[in-house]
Structure 1
């Protein structure tokens, strides 16, 4: 008796079961993320690694289910599948060329964004009440954590004082709520743009505010309309007022610090006292200075390590082990280039451009551009829940847009009565 081929096993699944898997994907996604975050909450609250293991298991199971959905209905997501295959091959090559040191976990988290987008693109459908309730629960969990305590895993870290210690820092917190708003945009429309501005301001993260403002301006100007000019004038007036209150001081400091970056050995920075660094830079805000030095260090490690490193990077997860400051890059584009190589960066950038081009509403365009801009200054790829919401829902929005254009192939995207009880 011959062995059963995987495609035969798929074909043997009853059609109704296939439809159920596709129609149930987003309820399963959001419920899984709630479960994952509950155990993440417990892990940070108690420090027990058991909760972390369970949380990771839920994440891996969700990715496995996403792959199952892609295999079932991948014909509706051909371009998304192409990116997934290309990324899978290139990430695998990077891991193989750096087998002795590469972190498989980091590689999976990076590959997950392609998987989740392709799964969302394969399903489509309208957002349901069960998903909205899950989004509210996901928003409530870090707020509850803020009320009850700090993170035990982060207790030894200097940034624990920034809690939400449920997140490593407030930058990942603002991203988390941005992802929730992106997912909710299918229900609430352009109103979430204003909420995003409030989100960035409340978190006191000027990078997030700047990213949101730039994204809104880009949305307004393309295509340029008479109303666009009026809004731009209002933004200019608001910008001038913000400047007068010192809102752009960090940007100005960053530009001024550029003159020091090329003349300083990154290793020497680690030996300097805080007072010495303040005298060197002329500022007590050293965040941007350390970023610039750290990026220079990462680039040197990447550019001066041979042809194979240029092509395939120096290994997933290795930046924090190789750099003088023992930190990840605070720049996901640079991180992918240095850890996975030039081909992976090209695929990643093309993928983001493709996803952005597929989005239709103003809210999704703005919030996705916020993500793309924020990739320049933060470590976001490690945030599984945020990436899951951003890319799975981006895939859904693209699928719905294709359906509305009358393309016959995505007809399966419409939710089936079999799951009406989830509404």
Structure 2
């Protein structure tokens, strides 16, 4: 895995941490503001919350194309392109804003491809859960038993399940490990670091909490390890595992999991970053081509919608493993507060976040960022309404809360 996605989110969130095989720090709606803080110790084997099937089903407003178009067009000063798709029982809607290429003024293709960033985590989690269904791994067995020597010897046992739901307590890469400033991003966008390298750099830092399973905090290191686990058990790259186990069976012809290809095939909007100049101005640099990394999967809104639909309907996972995907640990969220989705408690299952919107609707999904690209996918648990979006920020990556808020509100009536 190379270090690209969490790196981009950290530019926007804390100006720290650059990697090629990174997976992006998630931010959804006005609800996410997770930062570091103390977490009380809770049982190392957390009690899981009730199955999501018991969620209430409040009504959704009718699709409002005008409101959706206003939402995707609401950030022309911070993005060069936006595209979104809403689908469900009432039909579908697609909309675009901005330009695909600032030099030519080419319009944004509604079927354009984009880099997924940390949305890739959901694909990796799905493969790990498939391996569990095949009895090739035990979710509650320490990962150290599968990957001896990857984590320091003085680390306590950390289960595979804890890697997937962000309760392992692994440290993260920081700005001291890899370049982070805009010019550094431009200069190093083709750098490549193996998953093992990234884990080795990350574990030099203090762990966020001592007891695995006692708290939840979002991070990328656990998914580097999960990717290594997939490769150990399958005998080939995690990208190949995703392709053979998910992309080909679902016919996701516009989705790819490149290992080294720096380009985006097919129609797409360009990604940019604003680089400060000595005179105080900014120069917009095209960074569309970059080392793909862990968040280097490429897809379209239609393909991601198909993936979400198949995943939630159980086409990719049997019931036990599908339940694990949505199992949110009943533990504190490290540094969480009233503003975040869990209001101080955990809100992630195995890569997916659960968010109760102000109108009473609960959505599940995932966000991701890499330099020049930010994406997200959200749906009600019963798939009656689904949102997939991508936009091209010029700030180096990360989620634009105001823009995401507007799109989510327009789609789900939040």
Tell me the TM-score normalised to structure 1 length.
Answer: 0.26
Tell me the TM-score normalised to structure 2 length.
Answer: 0.27
Q: Higher Cα Rg: structure 1 or 2?
A: 1
**Which of structures 1 and 2 has the larger relative contact order (alpha carbons within 8 angstroms, sep 6+)?**
2
Q: Decide which structure has greater strand share.
A: 2
